[in-house]
Amino acid sequence: MRFKIDENLPVEIAEMLNNAGYDSKSVNDEGLQGVKDSHLIDICKKENRILVTLDTDFSDIRNYSLEDFSGVIVLRLKAQTKFHVINVFKNVIPLFQKEQVYHRLWIVEESRVRIRGE
């Protein structure tokens, strides 16, 4: 699987995914900071990458239809400290072997993961 890590997440998320055998690029490494959400999701679609973000705007399927993007993982966390985000996401990575990610919307919270899609 291929992932794009949004600028609002620690760079360690991309490192964790790469270390787990996935292809992960960060918005920061590619100089895409500050691009509009619509442009970012278009880039992800063209590159066949699943967007990982803290931006809850991407969880609105009225604006981001499930068929129109490769996939989105939105972290909806009570605390957004670097340490907390990394620890929560560490528990998500093993789920990629069990659940479909492409063309799905994953909402990740501290105690659960909700998946929307086909």
* pLDDT tens, residue by residue, 21-34: 999 999 888 766 76
Residues of the chain with pLDDT under 70: 31-32, 34, 62, 64-65, 118
Considering the domain 2-117, what is its CATH architecture?
3-Layer(aba) Sandwich (3.40)
Q: Which long-range contacts (CB under 8 A, 24 or more apart) does 66-71 make?
A: 66/103, 66/104, 66/105, 66/116, 66/117, 66/118, 67/103, 68/41, 69/41, 69/44, 69/45, 69/103, 70/2, 70/44, 70/45, 70/102, 70/103, 71/101, 71/102, 71/103, 71/104, 71/105, 71/106
Domain range summary for the chain, segments of one domain joined by +: 2-117
